[in-house]
Structure 1
Amino acid sequence: MKAQRGGFVLGLIVGLLVGLGLSLAVALYVTKVPVPFVDKVPRPPQNEAAEAERLKRWDPNGPLSGRPAQRGESASTPAVPPPAASAAAPPALANRPAAPGAATAPPAAATPPQTPAATAPSADPFRYFVQVGTYSRAEDAEQQRARLAMLGFTARVSEREQAGRTVYRVRLGPFERKDEADAVQERLKGNAVESALVRVER
């Protein structure tokens, strides 16, 4: 039993040593293999000096600014020839007489450009209010305004002297157009609230 255990341990150690040796051999081989795509031919020092001097004097914006290219620069754009003139009509067609009896259409008369007529809508001389109620006590007017606020309407309470006494009016508005006031009246009617349309001069 002890001999089997000793043989197993020895085999394990030997296997580890063999694996380490193989790994070391592969690593040495990889480091010594030449790297591909590397230019191993050394450049002559004269070519390198000329290349450095040409790059030092090269101006990428030279062709754009109209400056003549310096010696050694190869960026020169060829001159583009001007577009060819349109070919003239053949003389046989140009000198051909008109057919007898053919009516020649008169030149179309130049029509002046039509400008759209300025149709500015006339301004409405009135402003519109939707009056929900008139009360003799301010407390009643405030209660009505609170009920309208619960329905989603923003109303105001205004005072006015009428027949020697002060009355409190609950109104919505002002509205610049009558259709806006009519729409508010329809909404009030849908909530079972009576109202009246009041217009006031601007």
Structure 2
Amino acid sequence: MVEIRQKIEDVNKTIQDAANKKGHDPSNINLIAVTKTVDMHKIEKAIECGVTDIGENKVQELLEKYDHLKDKVKWHMIGHLQKNKVKYIVDKVDLIHSLDSYELALEINKRAKKIDRKVSCLLQVNVSNETTKFGVKSHEAVDLMYVLDKLTHVKIKGLMTMAPYVKDKEDTRKYFKSLKELSKEISKHKLQNIEMEYLSMGMSNDFDIAIEEGANLVRVGSAIFGKR
């Protein structure tokens, strides 16, 4: 498993270089290792090598891995979340990246209230307006924040997006820049229960560009574990 150690070192070096290039503090950027379909042995090795945060796309897979790892790591739900699955993870995840509708927020709020927990979430924004991607449209985000602000057991901590997959990663920059601008716009409204602490953007193929444009959560899978 020397390979995983080396890949994590390479990813961390890229994070540092991208942050330094734009004058950002590298220590403020959090690496989330995406473990979709990755076996437990490799995940445990990654944890040995310093990974502290795990991102999962599917509820079932998160639950299976949670049974093994419990609170050894922080858990991030990064994939599309169906309302009927919320009850299974609401007591386990540290951050839900994929809040993409008011209806989902209501369900999270209801389930969180039952266990007296305030659940941290990011609003997923479809900045590229791709029909294949989940997320609210950019122009809907501010109005939605005013409604989300009233929920007692959901805490909005920032925004998440997925850029289109393109041959030249430089072409993703405009999407990351757009999300950063949106977070600034939302901050101006000074809503009590809404924070723009996190920008979750950038994956294995473009996380350096995302960091340059303000990402402080990057979701990296294949650059650590290889293509799957």
TM range, smaller chain: under 0.3
> Which structure has the bigger radius of gyration?
1
- The higher-RCO structure (CA 8 Å, 6+ apart) is 2
Q: In proportion to residue count, which structure has more helix?
A: 2
Q: TM-score, normalised by structure 1?
A: 0.18
